[in-house]
């Protein structure tokens, strides 16, 4: 088994004057392609101009993250030594997939911390027919996190990042169930790493609301550690159980909610089905200002269907394999937890 992890991480309140040095120390070469949107370029102009002053830079904005478009872009990227992805979801997914196609190392400069996918080698892209698909890509060789930039992004992204971590509790519980059922061995080490990440942000909810620097650091390391747990284990299992099944189903049915908000809410359902302390899950979400009802999440029309069909969304043993969730049962659970009236 080969495990790939980023080998350099720079995290600072303000990375000004440190970005070019960090990149130079990686010894990737002199030519780089920066993948970012115009919007992000405006926010992060100091970072990109610092990179431009030290390297031969080609700026690229992916028009879409549709597979064929990215394959076209990869032909140009082949000429550079490395790739820098600056931004949120779209630029990160584009950069990690381009790096994989062009076989070049890439550096992630996340401007938001909304989910645990930064370290991951999987990218979410458009399959050309308007459907999202998860593809094998490449994990970043290095990560540069500027807390000032992350702080200035909206609180909703911080809350979403917290939400993705809070969902680790039910994910680990599902993993233990799979172990008990003889389906998949539970790894104490990766399981604990996932739980520690969730516990750390739980302790810092109030400080994260204030966008306190120390708390943002905790959020960053918790997301990275969750990513490590998944990369070491070789699948998303440590941080993705039945709550992610339901969330994937919501995506398929057209939900536009942020991933972290979605899995946080569905972890209330998972925790309820697992006979866990779902009230505690719910109160943590309320404390963080995350949605706790289907209406707040904007999924009131599809939540019942998503829950009923969540078991078959992928091959992963969870509580959904042990409880027969009929339409009647789904409505009962959702009412009981206050997710629907
Ligand atoms: Zn997730």
**Interval between CA 108 and ligand 1 midpoint (Å):** 18
pLDDT of residue 287: 98
From ligand 1's centre to the CA of 25, what distance in Å?
A: 32
Q: Would you list the domain boundaries of the chain?
A: 8-151, 155-336
What is the spatial distance between Cα 331 and Cα 341, in angstroms, rounded to a whole number?
A: 10
DSSP state of 107: E
Q: Which position has the token pair 């899995």?
A: 263
Q: Which helix (H) or strand (E) holds 122?
A: strand 122-126
Question: Considering only CA atoms, which of 92, 85, 152 is closest in space to residue 118?
Answer: 92
The whole-number pLDDT of residue 168 equals 98
Cα 114 to middle of ligand 1, angstroms: 9
Separation of CA 150 and ligand 1 centre (Å): 19
For residue 330, how far is its CA from the centre of ligand 1 (angstroms)?
22
Q: Separation of 19 CA from ligand 1 center, angstroms?
A: 28
| Backbone phi and psi for residue 127, each to the nearest 5 degrees, phi listed first | -80, 5
Low-confidence ranges of the chain (pLDDT < 50): none
> Which residues make up the environment of ion ligand 1, defined by Cβ < 5 Å?
164
Ligand 1 center from residue 164 Cα (angstroms): 5
For residue 117, the SS3 value is coil
75-88 pLDDT, tens digit each: 989 999 999 999 98
8-151 and 155-336 have identical folds: no
Count of beta carbons in the 10 Å neighbourhood of residue 276: 17
Cα(52) to centroid of ligand 1, in Å?
33
pTM for the model: 0.94
Cα 247 to averaged position of ligand 1 atoms, centre (Å) = 9
Q: How far is CA 168 from CA 12, 104, 194, in A?
A: 26, 32, 6
β-sheet bridge partners, residue 124: 134
Out of 3.10.450.50, 3.40.50.1970, 3.10.310.30, 3.30.70.3190, select the CATH number for domain 8-151: 3.40.50.1970
Instruction: Note the CATH architecture for domain 155-336.
Output: Up-down Bundle (1.20)
Cα 107 to middle of ligand 1, angstroms: 21
DSSP label at residue 238: G
54 with 24: CB under 8 angstroms? yes
Q: Tell me what pLDDT residue 45 has.
A: 86
């Amino acid at each position: 088994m080969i495990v790939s992890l980023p080998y350099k991480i720079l995290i600072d309140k303000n990375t000004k004057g440190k970005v070019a040095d960090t990149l130079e120390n990686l010894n990737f070469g002199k030519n780089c392609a920066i993948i970012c949107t115009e919007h992000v370029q405006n926010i992060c102009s100091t970072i990109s101009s610092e990179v431009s002053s030290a390297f031969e830079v080609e700026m690229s904005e992916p028009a879409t993250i549709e597979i064929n478009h990215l394959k076209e872009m990869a032909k140009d990227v082949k000429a550079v030594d490395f790739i820098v992805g600056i931004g949120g979801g779209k630029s990160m997914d584009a950069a990690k997939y381009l790096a994989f196609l062009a076989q070049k190392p890439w550096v992630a400069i996340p401007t938001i911390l909304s989910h645990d996918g930064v370290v991951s080698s999987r990218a979410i892209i458009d399959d050309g027919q308007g459907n999202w698909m998860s593809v094998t890509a490449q994990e970043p060789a290095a990560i540069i996190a500027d807390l000032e930039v992350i702080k200035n992004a909206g609180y909703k992204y911080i809350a979403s990042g917290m939400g993705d971590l809070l969902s680790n509790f039910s994910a680990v519980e599902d993993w233990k169930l799979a172990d008990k059922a003889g389906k998949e061995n539970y790894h104490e080490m990766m399981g604990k790493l996932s739980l520690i990440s969730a516990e750390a942000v739980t302790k810092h909810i109030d400080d994260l609301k204030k966008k306190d620097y120390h708390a943002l650091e905790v959020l960053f390391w918790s997301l990275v550690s969750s990513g490590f747990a998944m990369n070491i284990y070789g699948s998303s299992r440590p941080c993705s159980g039945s709550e992610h099944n339901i969330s994937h189903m919501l995506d398929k049915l057209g939900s536009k909610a942020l991933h972290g908000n979605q899995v946080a809410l569905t972890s209330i359902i998972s925790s309820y089905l697992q006979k866990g302390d779902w009230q505690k899950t719910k109160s943590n979400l309320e404390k963080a200002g995350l949605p706790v009802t289907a209406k707040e999440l904007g999924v009131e029309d599809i939540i019942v269907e998503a829950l009923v069909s969540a078991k078959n969304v992928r091959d992963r043993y969870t509580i959904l394999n042990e409880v027969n969730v009929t339409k009647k049962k789904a409505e009962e659970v959702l009412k009981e937890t206050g997710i629907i009236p």
